[in-house]
Amino acid sequence: MNAVQPASLIATLAGVLPDGGLLTADEDLARYSRDWSGDHFGRPLAVARPASVEEMSALMRRCHEERIPVVPQGGLTGLVGAAVAADSGEVVISLERLNRIRSVSPIDFAMVVEAGCILEDAKRAAEENDCLLPITFGAQGSCRIGGNVATNAGGFNVLRYGMTRDLVLGLEVVLADGRVWNGLKVLRKDNRGYDLKQVFIGSEGTLGIVTAAALKLYPRPTQIETALIGLRTVEDAMALYARARRECSDLLTAFELILRGGIEITLQARPDFADPLARPYPVYVLVEVSSGGLVDLQAMLRDFLAGAADLVEDGVMASSRAQGERLWLYREIMVERQGRGGRYLRTDVSVPISKLADFVTDALAALERTRPDALAVTYGHVGDGNIHLNVVPPEGMAAEAVEHLFEEAEEQIFAIVDRYAGSISAEHGIGRVKQKAFLERIDPVALDLAAGIKDAFDPHRILSNGRILASKSSLDYR
Ligand SMILES: Cc1cc2nc3c(=O)[nH]c(=O)nc-3n(C[C@H](O)[C@H](O)[C@H](O)COP(=O)(O)OP(=O)(O)OC[C@H]3O[C@@H](n4cnc5c(N)ncnc54)[C@H](O)[C@@H]3O)c2cc1C
C-alpha cells in the first residue's frame, strides 16, 4: 500500500501545496499525532494543510495518482482511534485551515460552514444571527464540523433535534481521486434521486473528505431551564423521562443520566463542589427544557417536577443560567476525571429506550460478579437509549492485566447489548477500536454492500484505510 517512501513522498506533495501547506518536521507533527483520549498515537509521514477546496482537490488528485495513503483529521476528539495516522504510514490531512463560515441565513434557517470550523465557533455565528445550531457536547470547543459530519455526532440535544445526520442539508466533498462533489444546498425538500450526502455522513473519512457543510438551524431559545434530580432507580429515571416527553411538549432538550459513582468522581476531583442535593441518591438526571419567549417555561418545569413527586426524591432547579451551567459541570468534570488520569474502557452503546433500565441492571450485575475490583462509571444520553458504561481498572494494575480486564468487560457488556438487540456504537463510530466487534456482528449482505460502496468511492483504498472495514490487504474486508 505504502508504495511511496517518505523522502519521495514529501517531494511529491511539496509541489502541490503552497508554502506552509505541508509540515514534515518532527516538532510540527507532534500535535497531529495523539488524540484527545491519549490512547491513540500515530506519527504521520507528513501533515498536509490545504487552505482551499482547490488545494484539497489538487492534493487528493496527486495522492490518488501516487497511491499515497491519507487520513483526514479534524479536532482529534474522536474516541475510536480513527483520526491518527496508522502505523503502516499515512499522511494526515488537517482541515484546520479550511475554517470559514461561508454564510448564515436566518431566513433559510441554515448556515454554510467549512469543515475545519470549530463547532463552538459555528454555534456562536448562528447565535449572532438569532439562531441555534443544536449540536452540543463536551468537546465542542475542540471538535470541527467535518469531524461532526464524518462521525454523525450526537450529544445532549439529540432527543429534540436529532443527530448531525438530521441537521445536514448539503455537503461539499473532495473525493479520493480529487474530484469535487458540490452537494451544498440549503433546500428542505429535494427528492432528485439518491441522497448522496447520507453516504458521507458517519463514514469516518473512508469515502471522501468533507470540505464544507450546509447545516439546519433552529430559532435560538430565549429561555433555558435546568434541573438536577435525585431518584431511587434507573427504572424511575426512565419513567420520569417518559412523562417528561409527554408533559413538557416538545420542549425537552436534554435528559442525562448519571449514577451516584459519577457524582462522587466530581466531588473528589473538585473539593469546592458540594454534594448537589441534601443527601446522596443512587441515580441522578439532568433535565433541560428550552423555548422562545411566549411560554412560562419555569412554571412548566416546576409543575412537571411537582406532579412527578412519586418518582422524584429531591431536586434542584437552577435559578439563573450561570447556576444551570454549574449543574452541567457535575457531568462534565466527571467525564474528564473518570479515568483518574489513566486508561479506562469506554463503551458507547444503545438499546431500545424501553429496555435501558434492564440493560443497566444486567450489565452492572455481570461486571460486579466477574470484576468486582474494577470501577464501573455509568452515564449517558438516556433519552436516546444511549449509555456509556465505562470501566476503570484498579489503581496500580499491570498493563497486561488492564488489557485483559478491558477485553473481558467489553465482551460481557456487548453480549448483553446483543441480547437487547442494541448497538455496540451509538455515537462514537467504529474507527479501529470497535472494528473487531463490528465485523463479528455485521450482516453479510450489509458487509457486501459496504465493501461495494468503498470500492466505488475509493478504488485504490487510499482514504482512511482500515477504519470501519478491515484494511485493503484483507480480501474480504474482514
Ligand atoms: C469530552 C468529549 C465528549 C464527547 N461527547 C460526545 C457526544 O456527546 N456525542 C458524540 O457523538 N461524540 C462525542 N465525543 C466524540 C467526538 O467529539 C466526536 O466524534 C466529534 O464529532 C469528532 O470531531 P473531531 O473534529 O474531533 O474529529 P476527529 O477526531 O479529528 O476525527 C474523527 C473522524 O472523522 C474523520 N474526519 C474528520 N474530519 C473529516 C473531514 N473533514 N472529512 C472526512 N472525514 C473527517 C476522521 O478521519 C476520523 O475518522 C466526545 C468527545 C470528547 C473528547
Q: List, for residues 258-300, the tens digit of each pLDDT value.
A: 999 999 999 999 999 999 999 999 999 999 999 998 999 999 9
Going by their DSSP bridges, the two strands 70-73 and 91-94 should be labelled as: parallel
Residue 137 in contact with ligand 1 by CB distance below 6 A: yes
* Cβ proximity of 406 and 345 under 8 Å: yes
Closest CA to 85 of 49, 125, 40: 40
Q: How does residue 471 score in pLDDT terms, banded at 50, 70 and 90?
A: confident
Judging by DSSP bridges, how do beta strands 70-73 and 22-23 pair with one another? unpaired
pLDDT recorded at residue 1: 43
Nearest of 155, 94, 97 to residue 335 by alpha carbon: 155
Band (pLDDT 50/70/90 cuts) for residue 473 is low
Q: Which mutation among 137, 207, 332, 349 tests ligand 1's pocket best, with the greatest number of atoms within 8 A of CB?
A: 137
Radius of gyration from C-alpha coordinates of the chain: 23
Cα(43) to centroid of ligand 1, in Å? 19
| CA distance linking residue 43 with residue 29, whole number of Å | 7
Neighbour count for residue 314 (Cβ, 10 Å): 14
Average pLDDT, whole number, for the chain? 95
CB distance 72 to ligand 1 below 6 Å: yes
Instruction: Give the position, in ligand 1's atom list, of the atom nearest the Cα of 116.
Output: 41
Give the cell for residue 101: 463560515
Ligand 1 pocket, residue 90 CB under 6 Å: no
Does residue 201's CB lie within 6 angstroms of at least one atom of ligand 1? no
| Pocket test residue of 33, 79, 80, 265 for ligand 1, highest count of atoms within 8 A of CB | 79
Decide if pLDDT at 303 tops 90. yes
Q: Has residue 478 got a pLDDT over 60?
A: no
Over residues 130-180, the pLDDT tens digits come to 999 999 999 999 999 999 999 999 999 999 999 999 999 999 999 999 999
Residue in 226, 434, 192 with CA at minimum distance from that of residue 321: 226
pLDDT interval class at 392 (50, 70, 90): very high
Q: How far is the CA of 93 from the centre of ligand 1 (A)?
A: 15
Q: Cβ(172) to ligand 1 under 6 A? A: no
pLDDT of residue 458: 96
Taking 50 as the threshold, does the pLDDT of residue 435 lie above it? Answer: yes
Quote the pLDDT of residue 7: 77
Ligand 1 contact, 139 CB (< 6 A): yes
Asked if residue 205 has its Cβ within 6 Å of ligand 1, the reply is: yes
State the pLDDT at residue 8.
83
Decide if 154 contacts 426 (C-beta within 8 A). yes
The residues pairing with 257 across neighbouring beta strands, listed in sequence order, are 285, 380
What gap in Å lies between CA 320 and CA 141, rounded to an integer? 23
Neighbours of 452 (CB within 10 A): 10
Q: Is 164 in the pocket of ligand 1 (CB under 6 A)?
A: no
CB of 184 within 8 A of CB of 197? Answer: no
CA distance 237 to 15: 59
Is any atom of ligand 1 closer than 6 Å to the C-beta of 39? Answer: no
Long-range contacts of 185-189 (CB under 8 A, 24+ apart): 185/214, 186/105, 186/108, 186/110, 186/112, 186/214
Q: How confident is the model at residue 5 (pLDDT cuts 50, 70, 90)?
A: low
How does pLDDT run across 318-341, given as a tens digit for each residue?
999 999 999 999 999 999 999 888
Span from the CA of 144 to the centroid of ligand 1 (angstroms):
7
Confidence of residue 477 (pLDDT cuts 50, 70, 90): very low
**Cα(94) to centroid of ligand 1, in Å?**
13
Q: Are 2 and 89 in contact (CB under 8 A)?
A: yes
Residue 85 CB–ligand 1 contact under 6 Å: no
Tell me the mean pLDDT in the region 80-88.
95
Bridge partners of residue 46, in order along the sequence: 91
Summarised one tens digit per residue, pLDDT across range 208-264 is 999 999 999 999 999 999 999 999 999 999 999 999 999 998 999 999 999 999 999
pLDDT, position 475: 42
